[in-house]
Amino acid sequence: MSDFWSSLLSGFVGGGLISLITTHWSNKHKDRSDQRVEDKVTLHTLISLRSELNALYNRYHSQAGNVLENTPAQDAPAIYFPVEEDYFPIYRNNTFIIGKINREQTVENVVNCYILASALFDSIRYNNGLCQKFSDLESELRRCDTNGRSDKISNDISMARNAIVSYWSELQKLHYELKRIASLAYTGLTEEIDQRRKCLGR
């Protein structure tokens, strides 16, 4: 009788132990699988973020950056640069991914890049306002037929022109700082992406 109970107990213990080991292995395998899926999502999001940064900077440089680099402040044109409302959809919707970047300096460069870009675009909008005022005054001067009024408008045009020249220097400072930070952010993201690809065995 005692042998029967001993065998039965051994069966329960053995079966329970096997079940425990199997469950532990399954959970561990599931955790690894879930982590791999999460790592892939992070990788693809970082690739998208890098693509957004690259496309954004190239578009900006072709429209405004190139002009800022090649035009001295004293020759600043009264030019209107188109600026859209939201240039950063991927960044704005995936800011939590930034915290998963391993290198702290890369995190700082990416965040600073987007902050500088936002500041520069706001400054370009302000510059557009100055140029619009200058253009409106020139149009008003052409329509004006009173000498007294004409003198005042000419003076206003001169002041508006000086404001454009002065602000052009500020735009150039922001442009060169953005150019520097954007390059660092792009390089850091590329290093992060390459490292994650190796970890995933891609």
Q: Which domains does the chain have, with CATH numbers?
A: 35-200 (1.20.1270)
Per-residue pLDDT for 18 more than 60?
no
Per-residue pLDDT for 96 more than 50?
yes
Q: How far apart are CA 125 and CA 84, in angstroms?
A: 10
What would the 3-class secondary structure string for 5-41 be? HHHHHHHHHHHHHHHHHHHHHHHHHHHHHHHHHHHHH
Span 30-50, average pLDDT:
84
Is the Cβ–Cβ distance between 168 and 120 less than 8 Å?
A: no
Q: Report which of residues 179 and 77 the model is more confident about.
A: 179
Could you report the per-residue pLDDT of 182-202, keeping only the tens digit for each? 999 999 999 999 999 998 875
Is the Cβ–Cβ distance between 160 and 68 less than 8 Å?
A: no
Span 24-34, average pLDDT:
58
Q: Report which of residues 35 and 175 the model is more confident about.
A: 175
Token pair listed for 27: 């959970």
Per DSSP, 201 falls in state: T
Residue 63 identity: Q
Q: What per-residue confidence (pLDDT) applies to 8?
A: 44
Query: Shortest CA distance to 183 belongs to which of 84, 92, 112?
Result: 112
Per-residue pLDDT for 29 more than 90?
no
Longest dimension (CA), the chain: 126
Per-residue pLDDT for 31 more than 80?
no
Q: Where are the alpha helices (DSSP H) in the chain?
A: 2-60, 66-70, 89-93, 95-98, 104-143, 147-200
Q: Report which of residues 8 and 184 the model is more confident about.
A: 184
Per DSSP, 102 falls in state: S
Is the Cβ–Cβ distance between 170 and 95 less than 8 Å?
A: no
Q: Of all residues in the chain, what percent carry a pLDDT higher than 70?
A: 80
Token pair listed for 12: 């329960």
Span 141-164, average pLDDT:
81
Q: What per-residue confidence (pLDDT) applies to 5?
A: 47
The label of the residue with tokens 């370009």 reads: 124
Specify the pTM. 0.76
